[in-house]
């Protein structure tokens, strides 16, 4: 196929103003083509990238906050475990609480108190279900000083043991010493079985 020839004489015969107009039209076409085929698509791509970057930045901030909260949660969980261990030291299992009451009875005897009555009552679970009360009705006979020392030793025990309903009778002389009858309720506190068997699940950081 024969290509069409271009006559330069025709171009030379075109007035200068028309040449300038043609040149401007060509430049305008190039600019318009550049805008529609290059600039505008690139602009849309830039906007899309900026939107994507903004979304990723927001997600990174959210994840950073989550990691910070996770660290705080881990620290709080460890603190709770420490506090729980301390509480368990103060609230023994029921079996140990029974042994503790026996030790308290032996303590009174060693100090010189005459234990007249030691009557355990049915245990009762607190409405909070966090501990169990194990009461014992007690009656002892002995001197004021001995009784005071006995109650002081009870208050110093690492386990929670309380004394309530304290009643002291009139003093009287027995075998050359002044003694009095003392009646009170001794209450040991223990962790209920379901609490003892449950455990706090530690929070661990996610594996990388």
User: What pLDDT, on a 0 to 100 scale, did the predictor assign at position 199?
Assistant: 44
pLDDT in tens, 59-71: 777 777 777 777 7
Strands (DSSP E) contained in the chain are 114-120, 124-125, 132-142, 161-168, 172-174, 177-190
Q: How far apart are CA 92 and CA 196, in angstroms?
A: 9
What the block records as the tokens of 186 is 């001794």
Judged by DSSP in three states, 117 sits in strand
* Residues with Cβ within 8 Å of residue 161, at least 6 apart in sequence: 100, 101, 104, 154, 186, 187, 188, 189
| % residues pLDDT > 90 (the chain) | 22
pLDDT in tens, 165-177: 999 888 888 777 7
Which residues make Cβ contacts (< 8 Å) with residue 89, sequence separation at least 6? 158, 159
Q: What is the per-residue DSSP string for 160-178?
A: -EEEEEEEE---EEETTEE
Distance, CA of 7 to CA of 5 (rounded, Å)? 6
pLDDT at 169: 85
Question: Pick from 147, 142, 161: which is nearest to 92 by CA?
Answer: 161
Longest pairwise C-alpha distance within the chain: 152
Q: How far apart are CA 104 and CA 186, in angstroms?
A: 9
- Tokens for 32, please give them: 């318009």
The residue ranges of the chain whose pLDDT is under 70 are 1-16, 18-24, 26-50, 52-54, 56, 84-89, 194-208
* pTM beyond 0.85: no
Instruction: Enumerate helices (H) and strands (E) in the chain, giving the number of each.
Output: 6, 6
The C-alpha atoms of residue 100 and residue 102 are separated, in whole angstroms, by: 5
Please name the CATH architecture into which domain 94-190 falls.
Answer: 2-Layer Sandwich (3.30)
């Amino acid at each position: 196929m024969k290509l069409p020839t271009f006559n330069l004489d025709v171009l030379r015969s075109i007035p200068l103003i028309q040449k300038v107009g043609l040149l401007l039209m060509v430049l305008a076409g190039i600019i318009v083509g550049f805008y529609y085929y290059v600039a505008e698509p690139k602009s849309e791509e830039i906007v899309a990238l900026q939107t994507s970057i903004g979304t990723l930045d927001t997600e990174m901030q959210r994840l950073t906050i989550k990691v910070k909260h996770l660290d705080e949660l881990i620290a709080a969980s460890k603190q709770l475990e420490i506090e729980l261990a301390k509480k368990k030291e103060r609230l023994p299992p029921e079996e140990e609480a029974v042994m503790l009451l026996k030790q308290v009875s032996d303590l009174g005897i060693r100090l010189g108190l005459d234990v007249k009555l030691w009557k355990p009552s049915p245990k009762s679970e607190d409405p909070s279900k966090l501990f169990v009360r194990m009461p014992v009705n007690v009656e002892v006979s002995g001197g004021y000083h001995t009784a005071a020392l006995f109650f002081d030793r009870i208050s110093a025990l690492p386990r929670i043991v309380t004394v309530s309903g304290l009643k002291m009778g009139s003093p009287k002389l027995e075998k050359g010493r002044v003694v009095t009858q003392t009646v009170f309720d001794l209450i040991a506190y223990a962790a209920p079985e379901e609490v003892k068997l449950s455990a706090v699940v530690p929070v661990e950081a996610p594996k990388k």
